[in-house]
Structure 1
Amino acid sequence: MPAPLDRIRVGSAPDSWGVWFPDDPRQVPWDRFLDEVAEAGYAWIELGPYGYLPTDPARLGDEVSRRGLRVSAGTVFTGLHRGPAVWDGTWEQVARVAALTQAMGAGHLVVIPSFWRDDKTAELLEPPELTREQWSHLTRGMERLGHRVRESYGLDIVVHPHADTHLDTEEHVERFLDSTDPGLVRLCLDTGHYAYCGGDSVKLIETYGERIGYLHLKQVDPEILAEVRAQAIPFGPAVRRGVMCEPPSGVPDLAPVLTAAQNLGVDLFAIVEQDMYPCPPDKPLPIAVRTRRFLRSCGA
């Protein structure tokens, strides 16, 4: 039997049920997601896109607690590299999500940079590389956000490197970490997105361990990823091809990632996310059950 990973708190998210949007007829209803994530054996969930789950704190708290669930984090997308002009609009969005996250007793806000190309059409929205000034806007903006979110809502931000954003590759992630205050900004390491962009999750944890504040557990199908790279396919169509796959069939191997995280000696959430929007409504639950069983076999 593997050593118990007693510092790792495993959960899942609406993303693993094919949920990318607040309201979409191709997604499972929110109450079915809550029923099934509990049935699969998870104790923790994320809020997903704001508006998918009920946004009234009293109602959401009741729906979550009566299923034996707790909330680990909320999520926001930001475009802080665009500079001070976007701050007010960004804060309005962040405050709404942070207030609900705080009301649910969670301690984290997952912050994802905005896409540089459309995740459906591949239309170029911005250059894929930031200028020096934009890097400064991004890093200073995230520090400002981390300070404000903690001051106003008592939450820690964890910034999520993501495919088709300016925070993706090992080079970009290390530059970001080296340029930001560890006391204000930590990382949500998504093992699938980092592998998708060529990064080594175990190496990152072992090198920047004090900056890892949260984990998303995800795997990539290496054969499909090779096609995606060769054909420069954007993230949305890549997901529809099945680039994010069910553990343990892809990369990275999650057992060493979890062991490296455990060795940090701090409590960490490890939230399962298997991107598969859109998907048949009966597909997620069996995968979630098998994935939970696999993670238990790793000690989590």
Structure 2
Amino acid sequence: MTSGAERTRLRIGSAPDSWGVWFADDPLQVPWQRFLDEVAASGYEWIELGPYGYLPDDPALLGRELAARGLRVSAGTVFTALHHGGAAAWEETWAHVSRVAVHAAAVGAGNLVMIPAFWRDDRTGQRLEDDTLTSAQWRTLAARTERLSRQVREEFGLRVVVHPHADTHIDTEENVVRLLDATDGDLVSLCLDTGHYAYCGGDSVKLVETYGERIGYLHLKQVDPVLLARVRQEDLPFGPAVGLGVMCEPPHGEPPLEPVLAAARALAERRGADLFAIVEQDMYPCPQDKPLPIARRTREFLRSCGA
């Protein structure tokens, strides 16, 4: 009889964020060919697509480039503002999500990471809207998250995983739990980003142990506690905080990843299914020679943790 440990595993990968990529096209960013070369050289098999348009949007071309390097795609990424009411807001969101979902499915991804809209500009700090949703907005957010998840699954065969994120309305433990409690567990899953959750005061191990059935995907990331204290004291927006290095190289930050990985392995074994755990160290902007050595050290660290 095959044991749970033999049946299941954490599928470790990396993402363009770990190479300083935030935008489809930016001269500060590493070219996409170099990203693919270096992520493969770092020992990873799985990648995310990153911002739509960074990697080639021709599935045949991208498929050949991935196959040549022994890489596979775990997820695409979409940005949404589902708490905004009105048919026009929904149609605009669905047009963006559909475009990304078609491409992600065509290159073999099984997941779509959904990042909520920022309530303040992540570069300038300009307030775009209130940082707290009204009860009516929470109802709209919950209903449209379910609707989006259902339609993406039915039309594209992908699972939407909601990414709690700094400077969005889904950030703290209170708001994450509020979303989970307001939505259907068969439709709405989380992408738990350990760095963002710590940035917003959450405990990743507690969330996995308490709401494990709702965790569909992981981003492995750490936050520098000293810099985080400065970010909170000065009320810095997320972009400048990243520029300071608030998201740091493992194992030098919080949360400790060993207990997170242990909890994730236990969750995968209970389910009898693999679980993606994608390294994503936000580093924008950064020198183009910086990411590769960090990626290699991080992969070795994760191996030392049994991942």
TM range (shorter): over 0.9
What 5-or-longer segments of structure 2 have no aligned partner?
Answer: none
Which residue is equivalent to 1:272? 279
Q: Deviations over 1:67-101 (max 9, x none)?
A: 00000000000001002331111111001100111
TM-score (norm 2): 0.96
Question: Does the 8 Å CA contact 1:158/1:214 hold for their aligned counterparts?
Answer: yes
TM-score (norm 1): 0.98
How far, CA to CA, are the matches of 1:295 and 1:161 in structure 2? 23
Which residue is equivalent to 1:243? 246
Question: Does the 8 Å CA contact 1:191/1:215 hold for their aligned counterparts?
Answer: yes
Q: Shift in Å at residue 120 of structure 1?
A: 0.6
Q: Deviations over 1:50-79 (max 9, x none)?
A: 000000000000011110000000000000
Which residue is equivalent to 1:218? 221
Q: Deviations over 1:19-53 (max 9, x none)?
A: 00000000000000000000000000000000000
How far, CA to CA, are the matches of 1:46 and 1:276 in structure 2? 16
Which residue is equivalent to 1:42? 44
Q: Secondary structure at the residue paired with 1:73?
A: strand
How far, CA to CA, are the matches of 2:284 and 2:122 in structure 1? 12
Q: Deviations over 1:254-283 (max 9, x none)?
A: 010011011112311000000010000000
How far, CA to CA, are the matches of 1:206 and 1:5 in structure 2? 21
Q: Is residue 2:187 matched to residue 1:184?
A: yes
Which residue is equivalent to 2:59? 57
Q: Secondary structure at the residue paired with 1:82?
A: coil
Question: Does the 8 Å CA contact 1:15/1:48 hold for their aligned counterparts?
Answer: yes
Q: Give the alignment's Cα RMSD to 1 decimal.
A: 1.1
Which residue is equivalent to 1:282? 289
Matches within 5 A, 1:90-129: 90-129=93-132
Question: Does the 8 Å CA contact 1:119/1:235 hold for their aligned counterparts?
Answer: yes
| Partner of residue 31 from structure 2, selected from 20, 29, 32 | 29
Which residue is equivalent to 2:18? 16
Question: Does the 8 Å CA contact 1:4/1:299 hold for their aligned counterparts?
Answer: no
Question: Does the 8 Å CA contact 1:12/1:273 hold for their aligned counterparts?
Answer: yes
- For these two proteins, the number of residue pairs brought into alignment is 298
How far, CA to CA, are the matches of 1:286 and 1:145 in structure 2? 38
Which 4+ stretches in 1 moved above 6 angstroms? none
